[in-house]
Homo-oligomer: A and B are copies of this chain.
Amino acid sequence: MTDPASQPGAHAPRPRNAAASRQALLDAAQGLFSQKGFEATTVREIGEAASVDPALIARYFGSKAELYIAAVAVEGASERPQRYERPAQIAEVMMARMDAGGPGPILQAVLRSDTTKEIRDAAKAHLVRRMVQPLEEDMDTAGVDRARLRAETAVAAVLGVALGRSLGWFSELGGVDRHELVALLDESLDALVPPALD
């Protein structure tokens, strides 16, 4: 962010700017990985989307896999810590994200088998930390039986619904208003994950 040394207002064209190229690659990768997954996205596609030579992926990130990890890290970091009052809020957050830009690198990594085990484990851990554990802790303090299993089941179910909605599995699920769907899930999830009573 040093002074580009040109007119104010309009960013100076940066034909040679490593940071900008790196960022462009990262953004393009984020979008493409999010929509198509790891294997189905080629480095040449990423380069074209970023208007950057694909060879720079190797230079700046080392490899396609490391670029993927970087994209996942960005997605993970962009999520601010959050506390869920009701289990269906997880569905709300997840579907809002998917409505915006596809499943995202993390979910892609979790549900596809063509990614490295290393990447998949990292994505799973993220999912557990952000979604399962909050639910589990609430139920633990409330003394609910089988808290962990209930939390995992709820997250998996929400993921299924969000996925089916995003990928257009069915006719109505994809088109229904998000909040209506969340409301529908709310009743159901309360039976699976009893809400904290405190």
Chain A contact residues, CB within 8 Å of chain B? 36-37, 39-40, 110-114, 124, 127-128, 132, 146, 148-150, 152-153, 155-161, 163-165, 167, 169-173, 176, 181, 184-185, 187-192
For residue A113, which residues in chain B have a CB less than 8 angstroms away from its CB? 36-37, 40, 167
Q: Nearest B residue to A170 by beta-carbon distance?
A: B152
For residue A158, which residues in chain B have a CB less than 8 angstroms away from its CB? 157, 160
Contact between chains at A127 and B169 (CB < 8 Å): yes
Given the interface pairs A156-B164, A160-B158, the reply to whether A171 lies near B148 with Cβ below 8 Å is yes
For residue A17, give the distance in angstroms from its CB to the closest CB of chain B. 34
- The CA-CA distance from A192 to B191 in the complex, in Å, is 10
Q: Nearest B residue to A154 by beta-carbon distance?
A: B188
- The CA-CA distance from A99 to B164 in the complex, in Å, is 21
Q: Nearest B residue to A123 by beta-carbon distance?
A: B169
Please give 12 more A-B residue pairs, beta carbons under 8 A apart, in addition to A149-B172, A153-B161, A153-B184. A37-B114, A110-B169, A111-B167, A112-B112, A149-B181, A150-B184, A152-B170, A152-B173, A157-B160, A157-B185, A160-B161, A184-B192
Would you mind naming 10 contact pairs between A and B with Cβ atoms under 8 Å apart?
Answer: A39-B40, A111-B163, A149-B184, A152-B169, A156-B160, A156-B161, A156-B164, A156-B165, A157-B188, A188-B191
